[in-house]
Amino acid sequence: MLFQQAKESIIILTPYFIPKDKTIWKALVDARKRGVRVKILFSPHSDALLVKEAAYPYIRKTLKQGIEVYGYKKGVLHGKVFLIDEKVLMVGTVNFDSRSFHLNEEMNCYIQDPVYISKIKPVITADLQNSKRVTSSDVNQLSIKEKMKEKVAKMFEYYL
């Protein structure tokens, strides 16, 4: 798995961040423990019901591990990109959720061409600049309505 090979950085852009898969979650946490800087950019403005609320528990866990989380501010982020050590780029249809990992048939392209990656990196940087860094306060001080939606989302997260 690419996360296990990372030495410096992992950047993940995903519309949905529901990393229920234990193997992938462990690989991310282990990378962070090795000193790899991990950034996750997700879309708090979703085109799918309850996925933002389903992400809240995972965002809390992610922040506790020292992983940086960013919420895209310019509408719905629909890109699916992983950039590892600025040397390996994965682009495709996989969201960071259970449906993509276990249910849907998805396809990704792994690119190791430094010229191509150098053209994509400014796009990723711009997306991060058009985002707000998420803090623990952002996901711990939810309204009662948001907390209720989070509980409902938890029941259906596998299908989101």
What b/e readout covers 54-66, taking b as 16+ CB neighbours within 10 angstroms? bbbbbbeebbeee
Helices 51-64 and 144-156: crossing angle, nearest 10°?
90
Q: Which phi and psi (to 5°) does residue 34 adopt?
A: -80, 0
What is the total count of domains within the chain? 1
pLDDT of residue 156: 78
Q: Which two tokens stand for residue 59?
A: 């965002």
Q: Is the dihedral of CA 135, 128, 109, 28 positive or negative?
A: negative
Q: Which phi and psi (to 5°) does residue 68 adopt?
A: -80, 135
Q: Which two tokens stand for residue 67?
A: 């992983």
Integer Cα distance of 51 and 145 in angstroms: 15
Spatial CB neighbours of 154, under 8 Å, sequence gap ≥ 6: 54, 57
Q: Using an 8 Å Cβ cutoff, are 64 and 124 in contact?
A: no
Q: Which residues span the domain enclosing 42?
A: 2-159
Per-residue tens of pLDDT for the chain, all 160 residues: 788 999 999 999 988 888 877 888 899 999 999 999 999 999 888 777 787 888 898 999 999 999 999 999 998 888 889 999 999 998 876 665 655 555 566 667 889 999 999 999 999 999 999 999 999 999 889 889 988 998 898 887 766 6
In terms of residues, how long is the chain? 160
CA distances from 145 to 45, 72, 152 (A): 16, 22, 11
CATH of the domain at 124: 3.30.870.10
pLDDT of residue 26: 92
